[in-house]
Amino acid sequence: MIVNSLSLCYHNKLILAPMVRVGTLPMRLLALDYGADIVYCEELIDLKMLQCKRVVNEALSTVDFVAPDDRVVFRTCEREQSRVVFQMGTSDAERALAVARLVENDVAGIDVNMGCPKEYSTKGGMGAALLSDPDKIEKILSTLVKGTQRPVTCKIRILPSLEDTLSLVKRIERTGIAAIAVHGRKREERPQHPVSCEAIKAVAETLSIPVIANEAFGLGAFYEETTRELDARRAKLLARSPEEVEEPAEDTSGIIKMAVKFDRRAYSPQITPKMCLLEWCRREKLAQPVYETVQRPLDRLFCSVVTVAEQKYQSTLWDKSKKLAEQAAAIVCLRSQGLPEGRLREEGPSLHKRKREAPDQDTGDPRAQEPVLPGELCKKPFLALASGKESPLEGW
């Protein structure tokens, strides 16, 4: 058996598992501060890493692997160097070795993900797709063990039968890897399915190398209870009507904020909050609303700020798309002014009716006879809005 010259001890260790969009440097350092012995980075694809250039970031005291578009794909630092494992997604032995050699001087170990069931991984022959090709598994791991100075590990899922699983892990052990992580679920199973701790135990009893139990930490009941609480809180938040909410809060930056989301089911497809806001601005002879939207890199969620008559409005809840974020910002503006926002069964002027009126026709609305000066929009009476506080877990 080939044993790498530089070793990382995996016996009786508490390890931070690799997590997509979570296992970045700040999270890894926090895990180390709170007692983790070893930390894994998120799965990074070999082709993406091979485009990167290693850069020493003197401002942050980090080592960055930077893509051609200047995006940092992987970042590490001296404080974690002896305890961080680089996990890659790969389906080719030579590419895997090239990536390992690129990062080996900055990490403590190299891991190959053979358990991810997501399409972005399996469609390239990576992740759980490797489980159906033991020959490729053996070639990738053997090439890494022989070609890199760091200890090599892999993560797998269990196969349909225990016999097949044990046969595979024995073959993997013979490649010379330092340890193996076992996710106690089959390829088609998801978090709602129970973890097979018995299968993980059987693997541990069969092999002589350390076996890392993945998804078997004993927090299932806590996870389910927390999920129920968050779902109930989110449902209550989305079910609130404008009449149930309190006054919005204006922060020191001058932006009026509310914790609201745009729920498509509550609005007519033909009349959205953005349409209502635009129509109101036209009627009041104001400049049309201007939306500024940003995306949060960590989870790729969006937040939008709309400016109307020099006043900015924003929802404190982040959304999964730019369009939804803009609709939420429009809702904040409309609710703060007590204006119709297009909700189903909401009483208010019809947009269709407005389109048939002449541009200068008096609509009967007293406000139409009172020109609104810029900056005065926010001085009109507010509609009551529930808690303006942001949900601490919303958008995670």
Which positions are annotated as active-site residues?
Answer: 116
φ, ψ at 199 (rounded to 5°): -65, -40
Single-letter amino acid, residue 154: C
Contact indicator for 294, 311 with CB cutoff of 8 Å: no
Q: Is 76 exposed, middle or buried (0-12, 13-18, 19+ CB in 10 A)?
A: buried
- CA 315 and chain centroid, separation: 19
At 86, the amino acid letter reads F
Question: Is 319 in contact with 378 (CB distance < 8 Å)?
Answer: no
Which among 33, 31, 36, 30 is positioned nearest to 13, based on CA atoms?
36
Within 10 angstroms of residue 261's Cβ, the number of other Cβ atoms is 18
CB 279 within 8 A of CB 345: no
Q: Where are the beta strands (DSSP E) in 146-278?
A: 152-157, 179-183, 211-214, 249-250, 255-258
Residue 103: both structure tokens together: 């990062």
